[in-house]
């Protein structure tokens, strides 16, 4: 924004009454809870249950001493990486076609169709994959109807099922962010490259991909972070193979009731996420 070009300079005194309600709400429901989580993660037990409690580093020690948690965190990071890569591979070409091939009303309509599912209920969309992937499900039936030989497709409760469900959930993000940067690229740059004798591949490598990098990074951050913290998708589509870092945190709060350990695990995840966002932020800021 133009630094307050004509915005009245009343300062904080006038702004505060208008800002206070919104930011008080965010403080009570977001910032204080996050601080409380850090605080509780250093306790042996919740002080509310009446049981004695003390400060401890035990919850963090548990993370570093039992290889299970680290293994699961790495598994979740790998899941996030794989899903992000698939989203790039699937989403980027679609974003390119939307930005550079389609024109006018059809571009507008298809763009809306691509991002529409993103704003519908994620849980329900994951559930819809369960319909498709289970044995005797639609994929199984359709493939057996087409193929001359009998095959059994039972992807349900497997790692690929989790990947498919998550990619389906998050690929519209990648299309959206890449489309925004791709459509900002001037067509004449591409034509100039071509008329100077560069092949299509060279133009892609030297002009289009570098210029759309902010969109790629923004999309990757927006996908990677929530996927690392996912628990509902692996639970529904992964079954017993779907144990990840997120599902272990969920267990601490709804099954095992070891809240301090859950808080410590959540905080470690938050730290990892913040580091990743910090690394991505210079590129993100250029994209904004």
Partner 1 sequence: MMTTRILEWLGRIYVWLLLAFLYLPIIIMALMSFNASPFYQLPFEWTTDWYASLWQNDQLISATWNSLKIAVITTIICVVLGTTASLALFRYEFRGKKLLQALLFPPIAIPWLITGTAMLIFFFGVGIGRGLFAILLGHVALALPYVIVVVSARLQTFAPELEEAARSLGANQWQVTNRVTLPWIMPGVIAGGLFAFAVSFDQFVVSYFLSTPGQTTLPVEIYAAIRKGFTPEINAVSTIIIVVSMALMLLTARFFKFGGEK
- Within positions 88 to 107, which residues make up the interface with partner 1, using CB under 8 A? 90, 93-94, 96-98, 101-102
Task: Say whether residue 8 binds partner 1 (CB under 8 A).
Answer: yes
Interface pick for partner 1 out of 214, 215, 226, 242 (rule CB under 8 A): 226
Task: Say whether residue 287 binds partner 1 (CB under 8 A).
Answer: no
Residue with tokens 């591979």: 89
Question: Around 44, how many Cα atoms within 13 Å sit in the side-chain half-sphere?
Answer: 7
Task: Say whether residue 160 binds partner 1 (CB under 8 A).
Answer: no
Q: Which of residues 253-282 bind partner 1 (CB under 8 A)?
A: 253-254, 259, 262-263, 266, 269-270, 273, 277
Decide if 119 contacts 179 (C-beta within 8 A).
Answer: no
# chain residues binding partner 1, by CB under 8 A = 98
Rg over CA atoms, the chain: 24
Of the two residues 69 and 111, which places its CB atom closer to partner 1 in the complex?
Answer: 111
116-135 footprint of partner 1 as x/- string (CB under 8 A): xx-xxxxxxx-xxxxxx---
Q: How far is the CB of 60 from partner 1 (least distance, A)?
A: 16
Q: How far is the CB of 158 from partner 1 (least distance, A)?
A: 16
195-214 footprint of partner 1 as x/- string (CB under 8 A): -----x--------------
Task: Say whether residue 6 binds partner 1 (CB under 8 A).
Answer: yes
Q: How far is the CB of 76 from partner 1 (least distance, A)?
A: 11
50-69 footprint of partner 1 as x/- string (CB under 8 A): --------------------
Interface pick for partner 1 out of 171, 178, 203, 220 (rule CB under 8 A): 171
Q: How far is the CB of 255 from partner 1 (least distance, A)?
A: 12
Residue 127 vs residues 185, 201, 236: alpha-carbon distances, Å: 38, 39, 7
Question: Using CB under 8 A, which of the segments 56-64, 81-89, 204-212, 225-233 binds partner 1?
Answer: 225-233
Task: Say whether residue 243 binds partner 1 (CB under 8 A).
Answer: no
φ and ψ at residue 51, rounded to 5 degrees:
-75, 155
Decide if 260 contacts 90 (C-beta within 8 A).
Answer: no
Of the two residues 27 and 71, which places its CB atom closer to partner 1 in the complex?
Answer: 27
Task: Say whether residue 189 binds partner 1 (CB under 8 A).
Answer: no
Q: How far is the CB of 41 from partner 1 (least distance, A)?
A: 9
Q: Cα–Cα distance between 288 and 282 in angstroms, integer?
A: 10
Interface pick for partner 1 out of 44, 81, 137, 211 (rule CB under 8 A): 137
């Amino acid at each position: 924004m133009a630094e307050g070009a004509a915005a009245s300079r009343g300062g904080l005194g006038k702004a505060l009454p208008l800002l206070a309600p919104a930011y008080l709400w965010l403080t009570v429901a977001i910032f204080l809870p996050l601080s409380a989580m850090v605080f509780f993660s250093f306790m042996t037990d919740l002080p509310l249950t009446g049981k004695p409690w003390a400060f401890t580093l035990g919850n963090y020690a548990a993370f570093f001493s039992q290889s299970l948690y680290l293994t699961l965190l790495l598994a979740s990071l790998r899941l996030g990486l794989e899903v992000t890569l698939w989203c790039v591979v699937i989403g980027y070409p679609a974003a390119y076609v939307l930005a550079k091939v389609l024109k006018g009303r059809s571009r507008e309509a298809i763009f809306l169709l691509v991002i529409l599912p993103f704003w519908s209920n994620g849980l329900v969309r994951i559930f819809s994959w369960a319909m498709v992937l289970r044995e005797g499900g639609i994929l199984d039936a359709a493939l057996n109807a087409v193929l001359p030989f009998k095959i059994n497709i039972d992807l349900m409760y497997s790692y690929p099922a989790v990947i498919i469900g998550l990619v389906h959930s998050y690929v519209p993000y990648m299309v959206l962010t890449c489309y925004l940067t791709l459509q900002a690229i001037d067509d004449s740059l591409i034509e100039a490259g071509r008329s100077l004798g560069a092949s299509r591949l060279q133009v892609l490598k030297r002009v289009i991909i570098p210029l759309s990098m902010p969109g790629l990074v923004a999309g990757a951050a927006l996908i990677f972070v929530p996927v690392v913290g996912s628990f509902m998708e692996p639970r529904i589509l992964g079954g017993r193979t779907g144990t990840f870092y997120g599902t272990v945190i969920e267990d601490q709060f709804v099954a095992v009731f070891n809240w301090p350990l859950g808080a410590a695990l959540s905080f470690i995840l938050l730290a990892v996420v913040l580091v990743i966002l910090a690394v991505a932020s210079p590129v993100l800021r250029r994209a904004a």
